Structure 1
Amino acid sequence: MKGLFDFTEVATYFFRKKDANRKTNFNLRAMHSINKISILMFLAAMIYFAIKHW
């Protein structure tokens, strides 16, 4: 049950450093940007629903 509420991977996804040895291209940067936006929208919706139903 503890593993279900472990959000460390989500938190570190936003604050990790870029690897200098890895090449990046536009598609990879766009994918990560969309992922970050979708995670933020999901968390905002969960907060909204939690506040609305309390």
Structure 2
Amino acid sequence: MGVWRQLQEYFYLKKRDPNAPNSSWMRYMHGINRISLFMFLIAIIVIIVKLVMMKK
């Protein structure tokens, strides 16, 4: 599975592969990955906003 497809599945842009194995540990891992990606994107947005505000 490619990185872009995995990101699309994390952000609910693409449906999961129905043939993929489904275990509770896999769901936990994907949930933690999803949370960390959201936090990373929020941090990037905050940094960009701070940089824009400092230029004024």
- Both structures adopt the same fold (TM-score exceeding 0.5): yes
Query: RMSD of the TM alignment (CA)?
Result: 1.4
Residue identity over aligned pairs, in percent, reads: 38
2:37 equivalent among 36, 39, 46:
39
2:46 equivalent among 45, 48, 54:
48
Amino acid at match of 1:33: G
Unaligned segments of structure 2, at least 5 residues: none
Q: TM-score, normalization: structure 1?
A: 0.69
Q: TM-score, normalization: structure 2?
A: 0.67
- Count of residue correspondences: 45
* Deviation (angstroms), 1:20: 2.3
Unaligned segments of structure 1, at least 5 residues: 1-8
Off by >3 Å, runs of 4+ in structure 1: none
Measure the CA separation in 2 of the matches of 1:42 and 1:53. 17
